[in-house]
Amino acid sequence: MNDELSRLIALQEFDTELTGFDREAERLRQEQAARELAAKDREAQAGLCRARAAELEQSRETLRAGGAEAAERIKERQVKMMQVQTSREHQALLKEIEDAKKQIRDTEEQMLQAEEDAEAELKRAAELEQLCKGELKLLAEEAKKTEEAVRQIAARRAEVEASRSQLAKEISAAQLKRYDKLLVKRKGLAVVRIIAGVCQGCFMTVPPQQFNLVRKGGEICSCPACQRILYYKADPNQPETMAPVRSQLEDLYEAEEDDEDELTE
């Protein structure tokens, strides 16, 4: 196999490994952030529960004041009943007294319900706070583990990056420039294997003559469709014959001409 091609393949392997490091570190950070967010959400829920309990307690005070006012009206109406002289006035005062008594009964029921609801909110708040307390302790431990894991990934990444930089110096400037452009344009995949005549980057079938050139490995060949650098590696589990050429290949070549011109600049 062409030495330059071998170096490009190795360079792609380094870049793939570096991308994997970045993804793993980001995954660990996101998982830690999600755990912290969940703990904060529970903490916020506990705060809302206590706020609702306070509102319910305030409503109980308002109801209690209303009940006291109704009781005072009853006393006043009872005093007036000793002073009225007509049956109509007497009946009117009786109705006011009964209405006040009903208000007191309704108020007592509402106060009891508010008290029960407030107790339920406070209980829920206590449960959430206890849960948060345990989670915060666990989060501190997990944060240390995540930090250490990310540190190890960074250390390993630095080693691989150093090896990659050294290898890049051994590749011609023109090929390295083309490789770097492909790496960006093809989302991190500049060098790909060809299997049964099919590019494993765009999964299009290359012409037979092109496939034979890639198999020989004497020169650096590119996929006519996606311009990725191709290499061949024998695999006993894969057929040696080419896959059928797709009928749309010529149209795709024309559509990719602009990309090829840009990469060869």
Q: How do the pLDDT tens digits run along the chain, 265 residues long?
A: 688 999 999 999 999 999 999 999 999 999 989 988 888 898 899 999 999 999 999 999 999 999 899 899 889 988 888 887 888 888 988 898 899 899 889 999 999 999 999 999 999 999 888 888 888 888 888 889 989 999 999 999 999 999 999 999 999 999 999 999 999 999 899 999 999 899 999 999 999 999 999 998 888 999 999 999 999 988 766 555 555 444 344 444 444 444 554 555 5
Provide the pLDDT for residue 256: 47
Provide the pLDDT for residue 93: 86
Cα 86 to Cα 47: distance, rounded to the nearest angstrom: 58
Cβ–Cβ < 8 Å for 231, 5: yes
With a CB cutoff of 8 Å and minimum separation 6, the contacts of 14 are: 160, 161, 163, 164, 167
Query: Tens digit of pLDDT for each residue in 215-241?
Result: 988 889 999 999 999 999 887 665 555
Provide the pLDDT for residue 16: 92
Alpha helices in the chain (DSSP H): 3-81, 87-168, 173-185, 208-216, 249-255, 257-263
- Cβ neighbours of 15 (radius 10 Å): 20
Fold of 3-168: Helix Hairpins (1.10.287)
Provide the pLDDT for residue 86: 86
Provide the pLDDT for residue 236: 67
The two beta strands, 198-199 and 191-195, are antiparallel
Q: Full-prediction pTM beyond 0.85? A: no
Cα 5 to Cα 12: distance, rounded to the nearest angstrom: 11
- CATH number among 1.10.287.1490, 1.10.10.10, 1.10.287.1060, 1.10.1060.10, domain 173-263: 1.10.287.1490
Six-digit token string for 260: 């090829």
SS (HEC) of 156-188: HHHHHHHHHHHHHCCCCHHHHHHHHHHHHHCCC
- 3-state class (DSSP) for residue 99: helix
Q: What are phi and psi of 126, to 5 degrees?
A: -65, -40
Provide the pLDDT for residue 118: 92
**Where are the domain boundaries for CATH 1.10.287.1490 in the chain?**
3-168, 173-263
